[in-house]
């Protein structure tokens, strides 16, 4: 009987652990950090949650990308809007990903092509395993020249940090 009781106690303990670890308090939420000198010359660092990004003006972009099948609808905030919101007027913008990949983009490039920091693809939140939770997306359909390798490298997925220089 003591073996049955011990086995039952072990099962109960495992079940409790599974329930506790699956609670939202243990959920990993990636945030997006933006840093740089604002128009007043003050160096700022802002860390945003997905919810805070959703409260900014949203844009939709429909395009195909080499990493996905067919066209997809991406929703998020334009990078220019994000920079303007924090009064950042950089000449260069460095995007860094969770895996330490980074790419630099000029302000002119951003203003010309108007990429978005996507948080959704086809109305589903982007997950880390699906290029998310934040992905800098340009429209290859609207601007075919963005399909060149040098431009594709600027579409940073798993975006974690934006540095405005």
* pLDDT digit string, tens, across residues 93-140: 999 999 999 999 999 999 999 999 999 999 999 999 989 999 999 999
Residue 34, pLDDT > 60, answer yes
- Which letter, b or e, does each residue of 146-163 get, where b requires 16 or more Cβ atoms within 10 Å of its Cβ? beeeebeebbbbbbbbbb
Residue 17 lies in a domain: no
What is the number of structural domains in the chain?
1
H or E segment to which residue 54 belongs? helix 50-54
Can you give the residue range of the structural domain that contains 44?
28-164
129 lies in some domain: yes
Gyration radius of the chain over CA positions = 20
**CATH number, domain containing residue 67:** 3.90.420.10
The span from the CA of 11 to the CA of 9, in Å, is: 5
Residue at 48 is within a domain: yes
């Amino acid at each position: 009987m003591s073996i049955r009781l011990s086995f039952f106690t072990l099962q109960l303990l495992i079940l409790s652990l599974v329930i506790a670890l699956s609670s939202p308090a243990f959920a990993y939420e990636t945030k997006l950090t933006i840093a740089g000198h604002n128009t007043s010359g003050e160096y700022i660092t802002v860390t945003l949650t997905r919810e805070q990004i959703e409260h900014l003006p949203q844009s939709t972009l429909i395009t195909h990308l080499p990493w996905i099948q067919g066209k997809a609808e991406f929703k998020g905030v334009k990078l220019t809007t994000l920079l303007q919101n924090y009064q950042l007027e950089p000449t260069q913008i460095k995007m860094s990903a969770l895996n330490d990949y980074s790419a630099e983009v000029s302000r002119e490039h951003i203003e010309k092509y108007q990429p978005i920091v996507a948080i959704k693809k086809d109305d589903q939140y982007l997950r880390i395993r699906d290029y998310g939770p934040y992905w800098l997306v340009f429209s290859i359909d609207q601007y075919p020249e963005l399909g060149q390798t040098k431009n594709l490298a600027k579409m940073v997925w798993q975006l974690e940090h934006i540095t405005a220089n």
